[in-house]
């Protein structure tokens, strides 16, 4: 499992997203590797709690747009470049990724995300699939592809924030820091970056002292309340919408922009607040890239 490292000690399993050279951006192997690591921890009777973290400078920067946008590759054209889109083939692949992330939520053993740097776009899907999230004060979380080319397939924003603040995040694509995320109740707590390791260890140690049977029953009971609110059905809709966003006129415009100018420029345009044309339109030329929004 080269994209996810596994280590266990003191009743804790540590799962580390391991593409630090790409800020742990998600490639096509990482979701399955993550689910396999979660299964391994659940099958180990010595493990009581799972800690998920990222190697290097970030937790996870989202899907690797160099693969799926700039190069036009993806899950049955998730890059948007295919002349004919097969929505069910796309849905099957993206739902598989979503289910892999949600192995953290469905795990019988509690999961804690330790977020530093960034947990953005698809990286926020992974973090918010954990039972508990602890962030560094200066870390950022958000779903910028809500502006174009994405819909969060785990749908956890609304379940954690409620309707109005979920709309605040997903109607703008903005990111917030750890302090604001904790203040809003999106994550459990935010601590100074230098204290992040210690805060997560203290929480994990506290949980690790509880018998596995007790942990599993409390978690199943709480999760069932979310299932009763239609969590799985919402995820089905979100995953279908995610495929549509990548193949709408605006989605194809974004992919063509990335192919023409590189994914860094496409993301810079998307996140700057510049106007994104309804119905697509001509891709900006090089002279447009440096103009103020």
Over range 265-280, report the average pLDDT.
93
Angle at 115 between CA 201 and CA 153, to 5 degrees: 125
pLDDT on residue 16 = 98
Per residue in 150-176, pLDDT tens? 999 999 999 999 999 999 999 999 999
Of residues 138, 182, 139, the one with CA closest to residue 160: 182
Q: How confident is the model at residue 221 (pLDDT cuts 50, 70, 90)?
A: very high
pLDDT on residue 83 = 64
Q: Alpha helix (H) ranges present in the chain?
A: 30-43, 65, 87-101, 103-106, 122-128, 156-161, 163-170, 178-184, 196-208, 212-228, 231-245, 249-261, 263-272, 286-289
Per residue in 116-154, pLDDT tens? 999 999 999 999 999 999 999 999 999 999 999 999 999
Domain 4-289 has CATH 3.90.1560.10: no
pLDDT on residue 81 = 54
Cα–Cα distance measured from residue 236 to residue 86, given in angstroms and rounded to the nearest whole number = 16
Over range 184-191, report the average pLDDT.
98
pLDDT on residue 232 = 97
Q: Is the pTM of this model over 0.85?
A: yes
Q: How confident is the model at residue 286 (pLDDT cuts 50, 70, 90)?
A: confident
Of residues 90, 187, 72, 93, the one with CA closest to residue 139: 187
Per residue in 41-92, pLDDT tens? 999 999 999 999 999 999 999 999 877 666 655 444 444 455 688 999 999 9
Domain ranges of the chain: 4-289
Contact 53, 34 (CB under 8 A): no
């Amino acid at each position: 499992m080269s994209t996810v490292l596994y280590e266990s000690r003191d009743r804790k399993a540590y799962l580390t997203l391991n593409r630090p050279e790409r800020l742990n951006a998600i490639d096509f192997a990482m979701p399955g590797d993550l689910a396999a690591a979660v299964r391994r921890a659940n099958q180990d009777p010595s493990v009581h709690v799972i800690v998920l973290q990222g190697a290097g400078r970030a937790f996870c920067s989202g899907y690797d747009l160099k693969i799926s946008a700039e190069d036009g590759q993806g899950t049955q054209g998730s890059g948007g470049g295919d002349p004919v889109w097969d929505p069910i083939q796309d849905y099957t692949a993206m739902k598989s990724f979503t289910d892999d992330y949600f192995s953290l939520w469905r795990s019988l053993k509690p999961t804690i995300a330790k977020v530093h740097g960034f947990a953005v776009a698809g990286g926020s899907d992974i973090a918010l699939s954990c039972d508990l999230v602890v962030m560094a004060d200066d870390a950022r979380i958000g779903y910028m592809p809500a502006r174009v080319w994405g819909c969060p397939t785990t749908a956890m924003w609304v379940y954690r924030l409620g309707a109005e603040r979920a709309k605040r995040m997903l109607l703008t694509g903005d990111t917030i820091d750890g302090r604001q995320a904790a203040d809003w109740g999106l994550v459990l707590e935010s601590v100074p970056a230098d204290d992040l390791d210690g805060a997560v260890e203290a929480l994990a140690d506290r949980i690790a002292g509880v018998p596995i049977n007790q942990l599993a029953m409390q978690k199943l009971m709480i999760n069932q309340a979310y299932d009763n609110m239609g969590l799985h059905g919402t995820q089905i809709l979100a995953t279908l919408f995610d495929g549509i966003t990548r193949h709408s006129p605006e989605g194809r415009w974004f992919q063509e922009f990335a192919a023409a100018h590189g994914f860094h420029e496409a993301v810079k345009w998307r996140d700057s607040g510049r106007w994104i044309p309804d119905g697509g339109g001509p891709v900006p030329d090089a002279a447009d890239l440096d103009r103020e929004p």
